[in-house]
Amino acid sequence: MHSSTKFSLFEVVYGFNPLTPLDLTPLPIGEIVSLDGKHKAKLVKKIHEEARNRILHKNEQAATRANKGRKHVTFEPRDWVWVHFRKERFPSQRKSKLNPRGDGPFQVLEKINDNAYKLDLLEEYQVSFTFNVFDLSLFDVGADSRTNPFEEGGNDRNML
């Protein structure tokens, strides 16, 4: 039996599971077949429908597990983003593990779709200006990492 459909492949195709090899031999013409053609066609269609529903249910379960913890991120034109340097796309920037893994901020010029964006990238990178959302992260322009949120106007740099 298949784990998704709970049917054997033979049963999905022929409508029954053979118990012995003799079940696979064709019946002589003179014998009376227990199932007429219309009844057997209905049975096979019912099996196909059940198998299809079970496969769809398993696919939904797999998609739910795969998407658990993911969040839908979209950017708009004029947003500022960081670009993640993948080894395949930026081989010259990722020669060493000590090199930075990203750069930015870059401005989004155009939203191609929810998954692809065109950036205002520097010519020195010599790559396409279109990026997948997986390689981008939002750059918060108003954030100052040196500011202490508990003190008004606080700063951790040396004042001496």
Query: In the chain, what are the domain boundaries?
Result: 9-66, 80-138
| pLDDT reported for residue 38 | 83
Q: What would the mean pLDDT of 54-80 be, rounded to a whole number?
A: 91
Would you state the pLDDT for residue 57?
Answer: 95
Q: Across residues 98-122, what is the average pLDDT?
A: 89
What's the Cα-to-Cα distance from 93 to each of 44, 45, 75, 128, 135, rounded to whole Å? 58, 57, 25, 15, 15
Whether residue 83 has pLDDT greater than 50: yes
Q: What is the pTM of this model?
A: 0.51
Per residue in 120-129, pLDDT (tens digit) is: 988 888 888 8
Residue whose tokens read 């981008």: 136
31 pLDDT above the threshold of 50: no
Tracing tokens 């593990």 back to the chain, one arrives at: 97
